[in-house]
Structure 1
Amino acid sequence: MIHLKTFNKKQLESFVSLGEFQKYDFLPITQHRAKSQIANPKANDDQTLLILAFDDDHLAGYLGCLPDNFKMDNETFRYAWLSTLFISNQFRGKKIAQKLLNKAFDEYNGNIAITEFTKEAESLYNKIGVFKYIELKEGKRYYFRTDLENIIPSKKEKTAFLKPAFRIADSAANFFISIKNSFIRHPDFPVEILDHLDKESVDFISNFKINRTADEINWAIENPWILEGEKADEKYLFSSYSKNFKYFWLKVYCENKNLITCSLLILRDGHLKIPYLFSIADLTQFIDFLNYFIIENKVKTMTCYQTELNQKIESSLSFPNIHQRKIERRYMFHEKLINHLPENFKPNFQDGDGDCLMT
């Protein structure tokens, strides 16, 4: 018999602090992700953050919700992102995913959004027929170093025995790339890198239309879903640890020391993302510093959905990428969420909106 159990802030805190979440064959949440969910400034005390599905007394699956809101005409419209959905193979075929989703729909009156879904999950969401695609985000992925040793075997398993040869090819190619990039120096204009948003940054970004305030960005930085560690928790099937994971809050000034650009960067195991970017300049200086940051931190790849930045990079002769390709991020809204929003409403998502900021 399948039954469901929901957890709000208080219930989730008790569930984790008492260690109850660890008694199952797999983890429905990590301790640090639970702490982050509880501290989410956009979550109220009554909203459901986690739903567990049990087959009798056995944990069969779970679904995570990340509360969010839109500010519209001085009113707050609340909704939630689906952040995790997992069903144990042992309990497949019992329509547990559908039951978990229906419960989430009930808890949020259909005000549910999804992004960064797997192909398998997308197929499920399309099958149940209540989700609609909204305007997608077009972006680019930039490559700065060769990584044949990992890329080719991951796509063609039969080539795994050639890894040593690929490693040698990578070393040779990256040696010449390093020589080319050695001429990139730290720009001569003022730049500041912080581990949080300070008062000057708060005042600066308050002039932009945003879905997340400075306090909410600081919440993510101070309460990460991913911790630095050598080995992931094998009992948790979503992101929880990476060898390297760090947020950088970047402030770029012009020559007269006026702040012109602020941006949040995430660097995870050599992969760079730009969740938030706010600028009153043409981004030339931001790109100049980005060039230096990429080389200094040995960035392998960068994913960017900042349209203006991608256009500016396209015309830059100094950007150190060796290859690039187009990518897209799709969003799905529950049909009730669409109906609850004003006609022609545009969410104007930045790259970090949703749970993308956390991973």
Structure 2
Amino acid sequence: MIELRCLNKKMLEEFIGSGEFESFDFLPITKHRALSQIRNPKASDEDVLLALAFSDGQLAGYLGAFPDELQVGDQRVKFAWLSTLFVHENFRGKRIAQQLLDMVFQKYGGKIVMTEFTPEAENLYNKTKKFQYIAPKIGKRFYFKSQMAEIIPRKKPAVSFLKPILRMTDWVANFLISTQNYFTGSKDVAFESRDFIDEESSAFLEKFQKHRNAEELNHVMANPWILPGNKSDERYLFSSYSKAFQYFWIKIFDEEKNLETCALLQLRDGHLKIQYLFNEKDLRRFSDFLQRFIREKNVKVLTSYQTKLNAELTKKSFRKIYQKDQERRYLFHKDLLQVLPADFWPNFQDGDGDPVFT
């Protein structure tokens, strides 16, 4: 028999402090991620944050929900992003994933959105016939370091024995790249780097249409789902730790010392993402800043869906060794689309949803 349980903020806080939580063979959430969810400014006291499935008293699967809102004219439409859908292999074949989905659909009245899903999860969502794709975001991935020892064996495991040679090749290539970048240098840009949004930045953000305000962005930076460190929690099957994980709130100033660009950067194990970008003028100074940041932080890869920024970064003056197109798809529940205007466009930034946390 399958038992389903929904946890709101209060129930989730009690759950992670209970002996029951510590007794599971696998965890449905980490404590730091749970606390981040509980502190989400857009989560009400009754919103479902985590759904659990039990089979004969044993934890069999779970589904995470991240409450959010869409600005539609003068109205705010409540919905949730889905994440971390998992059913343990010992309990598969019992339609547990479908039952978890149906329960969360009901709790949110079908107002559900998803992105950054795995191919397996995407197939499951499409089988429900309750979702529709909206236009995807088209982005770019830029590479700054040779990573053959990581990429080639992953794509072709049969050549894993060549890793020592590939590592040496990477070292030589990256030494030459670093040397070239050192002598090329970078342009001077007036900027500030912070770990929170200050009053000047908050006032600047008021000029823009945005999905998250200063309070919410500060919440993101103060409540990460990934903690820096070499350890890992083997009982939690999604990301919880990385060797390096950090947010940077960046302020760029023009020649008259006026604030012209603000951005939230996320750097995880050498992978840089431009999660939020707010700009009044062109992005040349921000591009110049990124060149310096990439060199100083030893960035390997940059992923960006910021169309205007990507036009600047594809220029030859922005140094990289390779670039390729990226696509981020979104699935909207059909019940949510019915309450949105036919011409509604969410205008999501890279960090909207839960990608900003991971």
Return the offset for 1:188: 2.6
Say whether the 8 Å CA contact 1:246–1:268 is kept in structure 2: yes
Say whether the 8 Å CA contact 1:189–1:255 is kept in structure 2: no
Say whether the 8 Å CA contact 2:232–2:240 is kept in structure 1: yes
The CA distance in 2 between the partners of 1:31 and 1:148, in whole Å, is 36
Say whether the 8 Å CA contact 2:189–2:289 is kept in structure 1: no
The CA distance in 2 between the partners of 1:50 and 1:14, in whole Å, is 13
**What stretches of structure 2 of length at least 5 have no aligned partner?**
none
Aligned to 1:292: 292
Aligned to 2:325: 326
Where does 1:308-319 land on structure 2 (aligned, <5 Å)?
Answer: 308-315=308-315, 317-319=316-318
Return the offset for 1:184: 4.6
Return the offset for 1:342: 1.7
Query: What's the secondary structure of 1:216's corresponding residue?
Result: helix
Aligned to 2:335: 336
Deviations 1:159-207, CA, capped at 9 Å, x for gaps: 1111000011101111111111113545433110000110111110111
Query: What's the secondary structure of 1:181's corresponding residue?
Result: helix
Aligned to 1:201: 201
Aligned to 2:345: 346
* Residue 263 of structure 2 is aligned to residue 241 of structure 1: no
The CA distance in 2 between the partners of 1:101 and 1:357, in whole Å, is 23
Distance change >3 Å, CA 184–CA 205, structure 1 → 2: farther
**Structure 2: which amino acid aligns with 1:120?**
E
Deviations 1:26-61, CA, capped at 9 Å, x for gaps: 000000000000000000000100000000100000
Return the offset for 1:73: 3.0
The CA distance in 2 between the partners of 1:298 and 1:20, in whole Å, is 43
Q: TM-score, normalised by structure 2?
A: 0.98
Say whether the 8 Å CA contact 1:250–1:264 is kept in structure 2: yes
* Residue 283 of structure 2 is aligned to residue 302 of structure 1: no
**Structure 2: which amino acid aligns with 1:210?**
K
Aligned to 2:231: 231
Aligned to 1:59: 59
Return the offset for 1:343: 1.8
The CA distance in 2 between the partners of 1:165 and 1:284, in whole Å, is 39
Deviations 1:91-140, CA, capped at 9 Å, x for gaps: 01000000000001000000000000000111111111101001100001
**What stretches of structure 1 of length at least 5 have no aligned partner?**
none
The CA distance in 2 between the partners of 1:189 and 1:330, in whole Å, is 35
Aligned to 2:131: 131
Say whether the 8 Å CA contact 1:205–1:214 is kept in structure 2: yes
Aligned to 1:281: 281
* Residue 146 of structure 2 is aligned to residue 146 of structure 1: yes
Return the offset for 1:255: 1.2
Return the offset for 1:319: 1.4
**Structure 2: which amino acid aligns with 1:240?**
S
Say whether the 8 Å CA contact 2:72–2:340 is kept in structure 1: no
The CA distance in 1 between the partners of 2:244 and 2:67, in whole Å, is 27
Where does 1:1-359 land on structure 2 (aligned, <5 Å)?
Answer: 1-185=1-185, 187-315=187-315, 317-359=316-358
The CA distance in 1 between the partners of 2:190 and 2:306, in whole Å, is 23
Query: Aligned residue pairs: how many?
Result: 358
Return the offset for 1:266: 0.3
Say whether the 8 Å CA contact 1:262–1:277 is kept in structure 2: yes
**Structure 2: which amino acid aligns with 1:356?**
P
The CA distance in 1 between the partners of 2:239 and 2:185, in whole Å, is 34
Say whether the 8 Å CA contact 1:139–1:305 is kept in structure 2: yes
Query: What's the secondary structure of 1:134's corresponding residue?
Result: strand
Say whether the 8 Å CA contact 2:189–2:288 is kept in structure 1: no
Q: TM-score, normalised by structure 1?
A: 0.98
**Structure 2: which amino acid aligns with 1:273?**
K
Return the offset for 1:2: 0.4
Say whether the 8 Å CA contact 1:131–1:335 is kept in structure 2: yes
Return the offset for 1:322: 0.1
The CA distance in 2 between the partners of 1:293 and 1:253, in whole Å, is 16
Distance change >3 Å, CA 186–CA 323, structure 1 → 2: closer
The CA distance in 1 between the partners of 2:44 and 2:216, in whole Å, is 14
Query: What's the secondary structure of 2:43's corresponding residue?
Result: coil
